[in-house]
Structure 1
Amino acid sequence: MDKIIYPVLTEKTIRLLEKNQYSFNVNVQSDKKEIKKWIELFFSVEITSMNSHRLPNKKKKIGATTGYHICHKRMIITLKSGYSIPLFSSK
């Protein structure tokens, strides 16, 4: 699970939960096949489609030099009906 960094919970992604779509930030080097395998094994779900996009770079200034903040790739995953991913633990 080191490829999947964390689930994304924003206003838009909460609306997507109604359509059985989940959003995760993942490692930039990982591809769709790896992420699909990990999510299907870890959460025991079936995925119908996946969309991905890279987040825009953010400038970061350290002293006199300027660089870019390391950004992640965001995956929007659509599950088959009847499947769901628990985003919060029930403890």
Structure 2
Amino acid sequence: MDKLRNQVISGKSIRLLQQNQYTFQVDLKLTKTEMRNRIEQFFDVKVAGTNSSRIKSKSRKRVNKLNIDYVNRKKLIVRLKKNYFIPLFLSQNH
């Protein structure tokens, strides 16, 4: 999936896994409905709800007085229906 950047692994996202909620970094142009449909089709799950938020870019100054702008990001939290899950890590026992 080209619009789904990656899964966010942080302290909060790990706590949300206990409530069957998954956090993704997504493309800025996607709507909640489009992302919901993509996740349902790609992972073969049923989505109960979505929450999204835009994370503003930060600008910092370097020693040479140039401003560096970081890229804006969009975060999506997906709540799945019962008995559905998205495997984050596949364990390989050899």
- Residues 4 and 60 (structure 1 numbering): CA distance in 2 closer, same or farther, change over 3 Å? farther
Offset of residue 66 of structure 1: 1.6
Q: Which residue of 1 aligns with 2:43?
A: 43
Q: Which residue of 1 aligns with 2:19?
A: 19
Consecutive unaligned residues of structure 1, counting only runs of 5 or more, are none
Letter in 2 for 1:87: L
**In structure 1, C-alpha distance between the alignment counterparts of 2:6 and 2:72, rounded to whole Å:** 13
TM-score (norm 2): 0.87
Q: Which residue of 1 aligns with 2:88?
A: 87
**In structure 2, C-alpha distance between the alignment counterparts of 1:27 and 1:85, rounded to whole Å:** 20
Consecutive unaligned residues of structure 2, counting only runs of 5 or more, are none
Q: Which residue of 2 aligns with 1:10?
A: 10
Letter in 2 for 1:5: R
Percent of aligned pairs with the same residue? 40
When Rg is computed on C-alpha atoms for both structures, the one with the higher figure is: 2
TM-score (norm 1): 0.89
Count of aligned positions: 91
Offset of residue 79 of structure 1: 0.1
Q: What's the RMSD between the two structures over aligned residues?
A: 1.5
* 2:66 paired with 1:65: yes
User: Deviation per CA, 1:10-49, whole angstroms, max 9, x where unpaired?
Assistant: 1111000000000000011111111111100010000010
